[in-house]
Every structure is written in structure tokens, then in C-alpha cells.
């Protein structure tokens, strides 16, 4: 098991990442508004399966990589920091994408809804980097089984992501309307998000190898 401090810190990072603008959130919000909550929940099930696939592949691969390749941990650490900085810039850049930007989507069958949710997540670079670069930062190589720690952290991230996205699906119309009427709140949200992600990137880059 990961230490309590590492688990809580990772949970907070996972929470921060799931509320950042990205393909999953925008797709689910758009699907909820255009076709209804049930359609969005079917897509969310596909997103969850995508996370599970990434998590299992990364847990097995990272364990082997860190054990076999010198400085692999440092490479993953710097890659994760660089990606957090990229997300921070995407949040604060002028004319950046808003988290509740809606796209027009045509109605689709349940099977297609699930498949679109799955492939939206599998083709999402944020999901890949989350598991390949950020997850190892919260594992203690000298602690318990690295694979066990990675699985615990991975399932924690999946639970947080599904819970938050599920809440967003149910409140998509109300939240989108509220933010449209209050553009200043959108700016506050974006700069707060960018500051937090930038601070996490700096902490990760400067952290010494455990």
C-alpha cells in the first residue's frame, strides 16, 4: 500500500486533473446536453474502461521499467512535470478552451456511445501521461510491492474521475448556463487551475529521487 501522505496527495492531484479542460470532460458535457444524461453515462462507462486499460498497462510496464532501467524514475518525473506545465499554460493562455465548452453532437446508439467514450479516453494524451509520468511520483520504490501501490493509486484515480465526471454529467446544463452568465468566474477558475498545476510541476521537477 502507498503511504497515507502519498495517497492523499495523489488523490488531490487526481481531483485537480479531472476538473481541467480536456477531451473527456468536453465530450461528456456535450453528450449530456445534446442527448441527455443516460447517453452521457453510457459514454462515461466507456471512459472508465479506458482508464482501467491504461492503468493496468502502466502498472505492469512502469514496474518493469523502473526495476530495469537506470534513471527511468527521473525521466518519468521530468516528463510529468513538463506535461503539468503544458496543462497550466492551456488553462491560462488567451482564448484557451473552457471546461464547459459545448459541441453539437448527433444522437448515437448505446453501443456507439460506449465505444466513443472508450476511444475518446484511449486517444486522450492526458490519460496516457497521467499513468506513465505522474503515477510513479507517488510510489515509494523502497516500500511495499510497487505493483500493489500503482494499482491502489490507479483505482483511486478512476474512482475520482468517474465520480467527478458523473456529477458534471448531471449538472452539465446548469453549470454551462451559469458560467455563460458569469464570464469572470471562468477566468478565476482558469487562473486558479493554472497556478495549482504550475506549482505541482515545480514541486515534481525539484523533488529528489526517493
Residue-wise pLDDT tens digits, 39-58: 889 999 999 998 898 888 87
Q: What is the pLDDT of residue 170?
A: 85
Strand, helix or coil for residue 167: helix
Residue 190 pLDDT level (bands cut at 50, 70, 90)? low
Q: Does the predicted model carry a pTM greater than 0.75?
A: no
pLDDT tens digits, one per residue of 82-112 = 766 776 776 667 665 555 555 667 788 889 8
pLDDT of 185: 63
Mean pLDDT of the chain: 75
What CA–CA distance (Å, rounded) separates 140 from 9?
13
pLDDT score for 208: 54
The rounded distance, in Å, linking the Cα atoms of 107 and 65 is 43
Give the CA angle between residues 124, 59, 134 to the nearest 5°. Answer: 55
Q: Which three cell numbers stand for residue 134?
A: 505522474
Does the pLDDT at position 72 exceed 70? no
Whether residue 210 is predicted with pLDDT greater than 50 in this model: the reply is no
CA distances from 35 to 98, 151, 157 (A): 21, 34, 27
Give the Cα separation of 118 and 177 in Å (integer). 27
3-state secondary structure of 16: helix
pLDDT digits (tens, 9 = 90+) for 127-175: 766 777 677 778 776 766 778 888 888 899 999 999 998 988 888 767 6
What ranges do the domains of the chain cover? 4-142+158-204
The tens digit of pLDDT for each residue in 119-128 reads: 878 777 667 6
Amino acid at each position: 500500500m502507498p503511504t497515507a501522505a502519498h495517497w492523499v496527495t495523489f488523490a488531490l492531484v487526481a481531483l485537480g486533473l479531472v476538473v481541467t479542460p480536456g477531451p473527456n470532460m468536453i465530450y461528456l458535457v456535450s453528450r449530456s446536453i445534446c442527448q441527455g444524461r443516460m447517453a452521457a453515462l453510457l459514454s462515461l462507462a466507456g471512459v472508465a474502461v479506458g482508464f482501467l486499460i491504461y492503468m493496468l498497462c502502466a502498472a505492469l510496464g512502469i514496474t518493469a521499467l523502473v526495476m530495469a532501467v537506470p534513471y527511468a524514475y527521473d525521466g518519468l518525473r521530468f516528463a510529468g512535470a513538463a506535461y503539468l506545465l503544458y496543462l497550466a499554460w492551456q488553462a491560462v493562455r488567451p482564448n484557451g478552451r473552457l471546461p464547459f465548452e459545448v459541441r453539437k453532437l448527433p444522437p448515437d446508439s448505446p453501443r456507439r456511445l460506449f465505444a466513443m467514450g472508450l476511444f475518446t479516453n484511449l486517444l486522450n494524451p492526458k490519460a496516457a501521461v497521467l499513468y506513465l509520468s505522474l503515477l510513479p511520483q507517488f510510489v515509494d520504490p523502497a516500500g511495499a510491492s510497487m505493483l500493489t501501490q500503482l494499482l491502489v493509486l490507479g483505482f483511486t484515480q478512476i474512482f475520482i474521475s468517474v465520480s467527478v465526471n458523473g456529477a458534471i454529467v448531471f449538472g452539465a446544463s446548469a453549470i454551462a448556463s451559469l458560467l455563460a452568465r458569469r464570464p469572470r468566474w471562468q477566468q478565476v477558475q482558469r487562473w486558479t487551475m493554472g497556478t495549482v498545476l504550475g506549482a505541482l510541476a515545480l514541486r515534481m521537477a525539484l523533488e529528489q529521487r526517493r
